[in-house]
C-alpha cells in the first residue's frame, strides 16, 4: 500500500442495460456483479476495487437510471445520486443500441464537480455514422473531459478506458488493502446469485417483485450451509416460482449452488424457501430489513 500514489472513487452511471455491470466485471477480470438482459438487474451500489502498482481505482456499479415508480426504485435512485455526489470521476456509459438519457439526468450529471468520461458502449452493435452522431450529441450535452468507444462484453478498449481513468485519478493513499476486491461480504453475493437465476428463468413482473434474504450462512472448510428465503408479493407468484412438484425452485437452487461453489471454492448445501410479503416494494419497513438505504 505504501507504493500507492493515486486513488479515486469512480462511478459508472447510465440507463438500465447500458452494460455497467458487464464493464465492472471486465475491469476486475472476474464476475462480481450479476448481469442479465432484463432492466433493473442491479439494485444496490456495488463497490469493485481495481489494484494497480501505484493506483487504486474504486469503482461503483450503480442501478440503471430510471424514473422511480415505487419506493424500492426511489431507494435505488438514491444510491445513484449518492454515487454521483461521491465520485472523483464519472464514467457516463451510453448504450449504442439505445443512446438516450433524460434531460433531468443530463442536468444531474452536469452538476457533478468532477471529471467526466463519456464511454460509448456496445460499439460492435453500431456503425461509424451512428457513433459519430451519438458522440457529437453527448459531447455537446455533458461536455466530457474525454470520450472513448468500448465494448464491455467483448473487452474492446477497456485498457484505453483504464488509461484515461489513471490520468484523472487524484493523488491519494490507498483506501483499501491490496487484496480486497469489494466492500460486500459473501452473504451478499450468494444472495445475488440466487436472484440472477430468478431473473433468468421468470418473466413479466416476477423478477421485479422478488427479494432474496440469506437466513443462514455457516461456512466450514469443506462445506458451507446456506439457507435463503425468496420473498415475493403475491401467492400466485409463489406458486409459479416453486413450480409443479417443486421443479422450478429445484432448478433455481441447483444452478445457484453451482455458482456458489465456484465462488466460495467449496461444497455448498443450499436450502431455498419462498414466502409472500405483500407490497414489500412500497413498504419502508421491509425495504430497511432488506438492506436498502434509508433517506
One-character DSSP codes across 72-119 = HHHHHHHHHHHHHHH-SEEEEEEETTS----HHHHHHHHH--S-EEEE
Element (H, E) at 10: strand 6-13
Q: What is the pLDDT of residue 75?
A: 83
Q: For the stretch 254-274, what's the b/e string if a residue is b when 16 or more beta carbons lie within 10 angstroms of its beta carbon?
A: ebbbebbeebbeeebebebeb
Q: What is the pLDDT of residue 94?
A: 96
Q: Going residue by residue through the chain (295 aa), what tens digit of pLDDT does each one get? A: 458 899 999 999 988 889 999 999 999 998 888 787 776 788 888 899 999 999 999 999 888 877 788 888 888 888 888 888 889 999 999 999 999 887 878 888 998 999 999 999 999 999 999 999 999 999 999 999 999 999 999 999 999 999 999 999 999 999 999 999 999 999 999 999 999 999 999 988 898 899 999 999 999 888 999 999 999 999 999 999 999 999 999 999 999 999 999 999 999 999 999 999 999 999 999 999 998 865 5
Q: What is the pLDDT of residue 2?
A: 54
Q: What is the pLDDT of residue 58?
A: 97
Long-range contacts from 75-78, C-beta under 8 angstroms, 24+ separation:
75/287, 75/292, 75/293, 75/294, 75/295, 76/40, 76/43, 76/292, 78/293, 78/295
Q: What is the pLDDT of residue 103?
A: 83
Q: What is the pLDDT of residue 295?
A: 52
Among residues 263, 252, 254, 258, the alpha carbon closest in space to that of 186 is found at 263
- Which domains can be identified in the chain, with CATH numbers? 6-168 (3.40.50.300), 186-289 (3.30.300.20)
Q: What is the pLDDT of residue 158?
A: 97
Q: What is the pLDDT of residue 203?
A: 87
Would you state the cell numbers that stand for residue 229, as one nine-digit string? Answer: 428465503
Tell me the C-alpha distance between 138 and 100, whole Å: 9
Q: What is the pLDDT of residue 1?
A: 47
CA angle 202/185/182 to nearest 5° reads 100
Q: At what angle do helices 71-86 and 103-111 cross, to 10 degrees?
A: 30
Amino acid at each position: 500500500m505504501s507504493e500507492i500514489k493515486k486513488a479515486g472513487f469512480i462511478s459508472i452511471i447510465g440507463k438500465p442495460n447500458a452494460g455497467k455491470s458487464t464493464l465492472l466485471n471486465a475491469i476486475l477480470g472476474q464476475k462480481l456483479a450479476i448481469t442479465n438482459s432484463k432492466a433493473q438487474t442491479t439494485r444496490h451500489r456495488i463497490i469493485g476495487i481495481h489494484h494497480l502498482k501505484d493506483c487504486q481505482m474504486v469503482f461503483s456499479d450503480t442501478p440503471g437510471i430510471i424514473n422511480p415508480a415505487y419506493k424500492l426504485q426511489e431507494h435505488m435512485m438514491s444510491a445513484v445520486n449518492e454515487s454521483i455526489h461521491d465520485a472523483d470521476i464519472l464514467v457516463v456509459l451510453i448504450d449504442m443500441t439505445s443512446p438516450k438519457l433524460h434531460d433531468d439526468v443530463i442536468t444531474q450529471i452536469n452538476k457533478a464537480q468532477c471529471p467526466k468520461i463519456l464511454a460509448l458502449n456496445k460499439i460492435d452493435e453500431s456503425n461509424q455514422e451512428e457513433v459519430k452522431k451519438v458522440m457529437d450529441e453527448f459531447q455537446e450535452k455533458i461536455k466530457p473531459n474525454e470520450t472513448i468507444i468500448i465494448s464491455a462484453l467483448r473487452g474492446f478498449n477497456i485498457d484505453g478506458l483504464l488509461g484515461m481513468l489513471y490520468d484523472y485519478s487524484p493523488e491519494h493513499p490507498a483506501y483499501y488493502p491490496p487484496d480486497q476486491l469489494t466492500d460486500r461480504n459473501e452473504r451478499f453475493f450468494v444472495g445475488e446469485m440466487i436472484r440472477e437465476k430468478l431473473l433468468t428463468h421468470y418473466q413479466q413482473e416476477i423478477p421485479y417483485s422478488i427479494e432474496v434474504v440469506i437466513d443462514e450462512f455457516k461456512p466450514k472448510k469443506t462445506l458451507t450451509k446456506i439457507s435463503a428465503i425468496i420473498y415475493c408479493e403475491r401467492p400466485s407468484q409463489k406458486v409459479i416460482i416453486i413450480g409443479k412438484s417443486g421443479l422450478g425452485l429445484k432448478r433455481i437452487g441447483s444452478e445457484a449452488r453451482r455458482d456458489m461453489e465456484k465462488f466460495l471454492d467449496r461444497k455448498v448445501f443450499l436450502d431455498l424457501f419462498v414466502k409472500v410479503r405483500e407490497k414489500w416494494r412500497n413498504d419502508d419497513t421491509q425495504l430497511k430489513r432488506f438492506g436498502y438505504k434509508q433517506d
